[in-house]
Structure 1
Amino acid sequence: MSREKTKAVLNQSVADLSKAAALVHQVHWYLRGPGFMKLHPKMDELMDSLNSHLDELSERLITIGGSPVSTLKEFDELSNIKLETATWDKTTEARLTEVVKAYKYLSDLFQDGVHATDEEDDDVTNGLFADAKGDIEKTIWMLESELGLAPGL
């Protein structure tokens, strides 16, 4: 089985996870104000988690005969996550809102991965997408709670 849909969503995930990690890193560097002391190390945790998912999904893509995108140019061309030049005038709330938006996109993307892997009978990749989706959803809940929002994926 060629698993072309699975390979495509895996490669999309590689690009989007790479851009999401860059976004979180940007937030990490540009945080200022109340909450800095707890949010700065939290961004490190989020980057580690994103990079862990990136590695798992990239290696799975290679395992099933695919070739992950691996350059900044490819990440930027393929990714649907927008990353703008940082400025010092954004509030912490605005920065976290950008991260939530990216994570909600990732949650939807990973659901697409679950569907593609169901269709192509790839239980192993399905499990990776399901686990990643669960982790991303938990992070959305935590970030939205930090923003004073009620849970609601």
Structure 2
Amino acid sequence: MTKQSLEVSRLIHADKEPKIGIPEKDREGVIKILTELLCDEYVLVTKTKKYHWNVVGPDFSELHKFLEEQYEEMDEIVDKVAERIRTLGGQTIATLSEFTQYTRLKEDPGSYPDTHTMLANLLDAHEATIRILRGNADEADEKYHDMGTNDFLITLMEQHEKMAWMLRSYLTEKSH
């Protein structure tokens, strides 16, 4: 599937424009950033749930609970990203086809890897998200002059850094 360009103009809410000191053109840029992030976050939640449902082995109970904690935290992130879009006067996309169309993360349909590969795949996805967030935070501030979204994205980046650290620590522990 070829990734299509996101049409931001259709995501701007037609009702009353928020008067929050960010011009519409800048809000459009930030809404595009947040919408692509929403897609990435949703795909990452789904991948984590897939692995939560399909994990097996001697550490099943521990990993099942661990992955549940991670996807619950990411469910909250998804909600916060959608609410940030709405705060800026945007509309949130909310269909599976749109999420998969605009995500930058790789899915693995039909694949049921071993536990180590599951955790490594999740670590890779979190680290990719961290790199994206790092660039998006700078862009929100420097290009679109939206310090609120900059701060918001930095907070999300820190959450993903912690989740990545936990995955990395588990992988390190289990490889010895």
TM above 0.5: yes
Give the SS at the match of 2:108: coil
CA distance in 2, matches of 1:85, 1:11: 23
Taking the aligned partners of 1:148 and 1:76, their CA distance within structure 2 comes to 31
1:115 is aligned to 138
Matched ranges for 1:63-82 at <5 A: 63-82=87-106
Aligned length: 148
Taking the aligned partners of 1:113 and 1:55, their CA distance within structure 2 comes to: 18
Larger Rg: 2
Is structure 2 residue 70 aligned with structure 1 residue 25?
no
Equivalent runs, 1:116-131 vs 2, <5 Å: 116-119=139-142, 120-131=144-155
Q: In the alignment, which residue of structure 1 is the partner of 2:162?
A: 138
CA separation in 1, counterparts of 2:41 and 2:58?
28
Identify the range of structure 1 (117-126 vs 71-80) with the bigger mean alpha-carbon deviation.
117-126
Q: Does residue 83 in structure 1 map to residue 107 in structure 2? A: yes
Cα distance in 2 for partners of 1:52, 1:65 equals: 20
Alpha-carbon distance in 1 for matches of 2:118, 2:170: 12
- Mapped to 2, the partners of 1:33 and 1:64 lie a distance apart of 45
Residue identity opposite 1:104 in structure 2: E
1:6 corresponds to 2:30: yes
TM score, norm. by length of structure 2:
0.79
2:111, 2:148 → 1: CA distance? 41
Q: Partner amino acid for 2:53?
A: W
> Gapped runs of 5+ residues in structure 2?
1-22
One-letter code aligned to 1:27? Y
Q: Secondary structure at the match of 1:147?
A: helix
Q: Quick one: percent identity of the two aligned structures?
A: 25
